Amino acid sequence: MALTLYAHRLSQPCRAVEILARELGIDYDFHEVDFAGGETHTEWFAQINPLETVPALKVTPATSDTFSLGESQAIMIYFCRTADNRDTAQRWYPNDADTLTSARIDQWLAWHHANVRRFDMFHHIMNLHLTLPMLKREIQSTLLKPLQDGLAPGLATLEVQLERSNTSRAAPTLLGGEHPTLADLAIACELYQIRAVGYTFGRYPHVQTWLDALAEREHFKAVCGDIDAQGREVFEQSGAYLALGAFG
Ligand SMILES: N[C@@H](CCC(=O)N[C@@H](CS)C(=O)NCC(=O)O)C(=O)O
């Protein structure tokens, strides 16, 4: 079976999918798609993913027809259901082996989309970074501040969940198990991109420790090199406008 991942490493859902593929030892070809330049809306890409977003996965099985999939969570669950390395895959998403745990993961994945992802600031931070100095203040107050206010309750929810589910703060996980799951990965990738521009989460110490521990994983680090570099550039050039103390 051959797999092609259409993605970009400055995109949160793309990084989550790619990190998981590496964690599971899945072989894939990487095809970079310039989503910021509109490439997801081209004819060739719409054939791969009619939803016109990255990530997308093209699967060419040895004995049946090629098909493709969009939506990061669907791709990640597909990886966990089909990876050869069954033991590792079950740790990320247990599926039939443990329906209660998979239901809990589904719950946090659904929550993620309506909360942490909904208040993603990175897109606007990039606009802020690229815009004229005289417009920065306006973007900061009209776009960034409401997103910061929107994200804070989600961080508080995560803080309570992490504190409740973990007896030790060494390497906490959302469900309290020893191994992170798809829920940890999806949410951490989202928050990591604002950490990359310099935000810290001092008001949410369990969130901070949890994110730091995930960010130390080998494949997380490898896939996040581009976002680290981009974040450093933004931080060095426009830190004052970002209100980096928003989360303590
Ligand atoms: N729910 C989707 C979100 C995908 C998404 O928003 N991708 C962005 C990049 S982060 C994209 O492709 N944007 C292109 C566009 O909307 O024009 C998923 O999890 O895969």
Domain CATH code at residue 24: 3.40.30.10
- State the pLDDT confidence band at 141, using cuts at 50, 70 and 90: confident
Residue 59: inside a domain: yes
**Mean pLDDT along residues 137-149:** 84
CA 208, 211, 217, 222 torsion-angle sign: negative
Task: Return the number of other C-beta atoms located less than 10 Å from residue 207's C-beta.
Answer: 25
Q: Pick 16 or 133 by higher pLDDT.
A: 16
pLDDT of residue 106: 97
Half-sphere exposure of 61 (CA within 13 A, CB side): 7
**Mean pLDDT along residues 149-174:** 93
**Mean pLDDT across the chain:** 93
Half-sphere exposure of 221 (CA within 13 A, CB side): 5
Task: Output the domain CATH number for residue 142.
Answer: 1.20.1050.10
Residue 247: inside a domain: no
Query: Which residues are bridge partners to 30 per DSSP?
Result: 5
Tokens matching residue 153: 């309750």
| Ligand 1 contacts CB of residue 238 (under 6 A) | no
Q: How far apart are CA 220 and CA 19, in angstroms?
A: 6
What's the pTM value of the predicted model, to 2 decimals?
0.96
Which residue, chain included where needed, has tokens 């090629």? 66
Total number of domains in the chain? 2
**Same structural domain for residues 21 and 43?**
yes
> How does pLDDT run across 219-232, given as a tens digit for each residue?
999 999 999 999 99
Boundary-marking domain end, from 39, 67, 92:
92
**Same structural domain for residues 63 and 86?**
yes
Contact 179, 91 (CB under 8 A): yes
Residue 34: inside a domain: yes
How far away, in angstroms, is 166 Cα from ligand 1 center? 32
- Structural domain of residue 121, as residue ranges? 100-242
Residue 18: inside a domain: yes
Q: Which atom of ligand 1 is nearest to the CA of 36?
A: 14
- State the pLDDT confidence band at 110, using cuts at 50, 70 and 90: very high
Q: Which atom of ligand 1 is nearest to the CA of 10?
A: 10
| Ligand 1 contacts CB of residue 49 (under 6 A) | no
**Same structural domain for residues 59 and 107?**
no
Q: How far apart are CA 168 and CA 33, in angstroms?
A: 41
Residue 248: inside a domain: no
